[in-house]
Amino acid sequence: MPWIPHLMVLDDDPRVLDSLVPSFVDDLGRGIARHRALSEMLHRGDLPGPIGPIRIKVSAHGYESDRLSAYRHRPPHQIHLHLVRERAGRFDLARKLLNDQLFGVVVSDLRFSDDVGGLRAGQLFVDETERTHPEIEGLLYSAYPRPEGFPAERFVRKGADAAMLAETTIAALARHLADPAVNAFAVAIADQGMIYQSDSFGTTLAQLFGLARLLGSDTLTPKSAIRTRRPLPCLLLDGESGTGKRGLAELFHAASDRRKSPMAIASCNELTNETLLRSILFGHKRGAFTDAREDRPGLVASASRGVILLDDFHRLPAQCSAILHSFLEDGEFSRLGEEEIRRHSEAAVVMTVETQPWLDRRKSGELPLAFLARVERLLLTVPPLRDRPEDIEAQARWLTQVVSAELGAEVELANDAIEGLKQIPFAESNSRELRNVIERALYRHSRETELLTWSHLQPFVIASPATAKPAAAVMTTTTTTTTTTIASTEPSSAALNDWQWRLRTLAVKILTKGMTIEAPEAAKVVEILFDQMLPPLWEPIQSARGTIDPRVPIPLPVWEDLWRIYAVSRLGGPSPAERVLGIPANTLRQWINDREAR
């Protein structure tokens, strides 16, 4: 289940859209399963064995569908079909979807109810779609005659049976897959082992594909042949550890025309000083430094018109930023030892950074703003695994099949194991952390069971700060009354949602940075605060906010200002408050002056 193509059917009559479920969906699934090229691509990378059916997920946009509420697809899905009702032929929903996901085929009614003067809104939209998204195949279906000049193989008479519409759609999807960029992109997704089901990660892939088309040309246009000063195409992939940033860089290379040239990879962990950076990236001349016994071209020259990946860019030493700034600005460089010769790169640059370390470096001020503006010109953020519960399930089930097959066993995941995995914050290394849990449990239990439950997995889950449990001795001061109040106001640990786990992890991080305590001890403090001490204070504070008018409580920003003013007043002024609040007295005075001047 590597590549998930999206299909769209547009109409202004919800009854027409409803009529496609389930007849058209079933015909579409059976037809794709029989189509060799499509079936092989959708099953590319699957484990050896009989090829299963094509599973289609169906979503309705702009209307409520009774039929669709009764339709249930069996996960994992391999195709996503969107039924879109467009009122007044505006196509707002359709345009948003086209920007959110990577679509293969768009099927539109020819005429909409507000067509004026014989205008065919559906045809105009199909033409616009193919102009803005050249990889998409546009089809028309209508009870009216086929428009003059419109290809017959892309037109279906409305009223024909569902099998005819499905057959035409399948042929269009095959043409979509025949696009070299789409085919290379789909193959790379499968070969990278990127198992996903979530729309959020699908949006990331769609944005990456669009950027690859935008920055991926490996030839110069006639106008740009006379160069002045053109920045290098530059993309920054920002995400947590283990979210697949390096694999996405390879997808970018595959989807662009630059796939005809190599992709050169440089780990910024190894670029520890300016000399090493220039030698590895730009090459060196014989005798440029000790042990430089021969000329070396460097990764930039080796990449030619391909892609240069600067992996873990957040680890690049600050003193190297000036060299890279000049290179990213106009693509010019010189080999170490031949300063008089200026060369020019035609490659695109992709950089990967981990979110928090990169944010810390930006806040530290060690990197010049001009350099950051060049590096962050085009930014793509990769969502973490904890924000994609569908991907947790898909990856966990896939990893279980793959690893158990390697061990010569047939093991599956129980539903309670999936639910348990979805509660893990995955704050350490995302997909790598998930893989480690699955592998450890399988190595331990694959010979004794064919069904892994949560009890098998839980001992191998790394105790992150958010999942650490407080020792019983720490809770000795808690009274029975307090415990009862907590149970009624705060969810139990097992009932915490993703955001609550995430915020507890953040609270632990704030404590470890603000106090001289280790993460496990900070986790215990957070547990006591969140489960014992703070819940009883919530209702009195909310009640105090509503003292003036219970119907309209004091807004939280105003309440925060009032609380700071009270704290400074209680402590006797800015100077004595400086030590307690941790805010310089001058800053407090300036803040008070600003509030007085408003």
State the Cα–Cα distance between residues 60 and 82, nearest whole angstrom: 6
Q: Is the pLDDT of residue 585 over 70?
A: yes
Q: How many Å is the maximal CA-CA distance in the chain?
A: 84
State the Cα–Cα distance between residues 24 and 160, nearest whole angstrom: 11
Helix residue ranges, H only, 154-295: 162-178, 180-191, 199-215, 222-225, 245-255, 274-277
85: phi > 0 → left, psi -120 to 50 → alpha, else beta; which? beta
Percent of the chain topping pLDDT 90: 44
Looking at residue 139, what is its pLDDT? 96
Rg (Cα) of the chain, in Å, rounded? Answer: 29
- The pTM (predicted TM-score) of the whole model is 0.74
Q: Is the pLDDT of residue 490 over 80?
A: no
Looking at residue 176, what is its pLDDT? 96
Q: HEC states along 355-399? A: HHHHHHHHHHCCCCHHHHHHHCCCEEECCCHHHCHHHHHHHHHHH
φ, ψ at 378 (rounded to 5°): -125, 115
Long-range contacts of 320-326 (CB under 8 A, 24+ apart): 320/271, 320/273, 320/274, 320/277, 321/367, 321/368, 321/371, 322/371, 323/274, 323/277, 323/278, 324/277, 324/371, 325/368, 325/370, 325/371, 325/374
**447 is written with which tokens?**
């010979």
Instruction: Return the residue matching tokens 């020259």.
Output: 301
Looking at residue 231, what is its pLDDT? 77
Q: Is the pLDDT of residue 61 over 80?
A: yes
Looking at residue 367, what is its pLDDT? 86
Looking at residue 489, what is its pLDDT? 43
Residue (of 244, 178, 205, 194) closest to 45 by Cα position: 194
Per-residue b or e along 454-468, where b marks 16 or more CB atoms closer than 10 Å to that residue's CB:
bebbeebbeebbbbb
Looking at residue 512, what is its pLDDT? 80
Whether the bond into 470 is cis, omega within 30 of 0: no
State the Cα–Cα distance between residues 39 and 323, nearest whole angstrom: 48
Q: How confident is the model at residue 186 (pLDDT cuts 50, 70, 90)?
A: very high
φ, ψ at 237 (rounded to 5°): -100, 115
Looking at residue 1, what is its pLDDT? 57
Residue (of 60, 4, 70, 65) closest to 32 by Cα position: 4
Q: Which of 66-80, 136-150, 207-221, 272-286 has the highest mean pLDDT?
A: 136-150
pLDDT tens for 265-317 read 999 988 888 888 888 888 867 655 556 567 778 899 889 899 999 999 999 88
Looking at residue 43, what is its pLDDT? 87
Q: Is the pLDDT of residue 79 over 90?
A: yes
State the Cα–Cα distance between residues 544 and 217, nearest whole angstrom: 62
pLDDT tens for 127-185 read 999 999 999 999 999 888 888 899 999 999 887 778 899 999 999 999 999 999 999 99
Percent of the chain topping pLDDT 70: 86
| Cβ(142)–Cβ(111) below 8 Å | yes
SS3 549: coil
Q: Report the chain's mean pLDDT, rounded to a whole number.
A: 84
State the Cα–Cα distance between residues 229 and 328, nearest whole angstrom: 11
Strands of 234-239's sheet in order across: 263-267, 307-311, 348-354, 234-239, 379-381
Q: Is the pLDDT of residue 239 over 60?
A: yes
pLDDT tens for 100-126 read 999 999 999 988 876 655 568 899 999
Helix (H) / strand (E) element for 442: namely helix 431-445
Calculate the alpha carbon distances from 490 to 376, 468, 571, 598 in Å.
Answer: 41, 17, 32, 39
- Least confident residue range of 89-93, 249-253, 254-258, 349-353: 89-93
Q: How confident is the model at residue 65 (pLDDT cuts 50, 70, 90)?
A: confident
pLDDT tens for 356-389 read 999 988 888 888 888 999 999 899 999 999 999 9
Calculate the alpha carbon distances from 160 to 24, 171, 327, 529 in Å.
Answer: 11, 17, 59, 65
pLDDT tens for 524-562 read 888 888 888 888 888 888 888 777 666 667 887 788 888
φ, ψ at 245 (rounded to 5°): -65, -40
State the Cα–Cα distance between residues 9 and 106, nearest whole angstrom: 6
Question: Which residues is 235 bridged to in the sheet?
Answer: 350
- Least confident residue range of 358-372, 432-446, 448-462, 578-592: 578-592
Average pLDDT over residues 348-360: 93
CA 10, 62, 96, 242 dihedral sign is: negative
Looking at residue 593, what is its pLDDT? 81
> In sequence order, which residues have a C-beta less than 8 Å from that of residue 429 and are 6 or more positions away?
240, 241, 242
Q: Is the pLDDT of residue 243 over 50?
A: yes
Helix (H) / strand (E) element for 133: namely none
Q: How confident is the model at residue 473 (pLDDT cuts 50, 70, 90)?
A: very low
Looking at residue 232, what is its pLDDT? 84
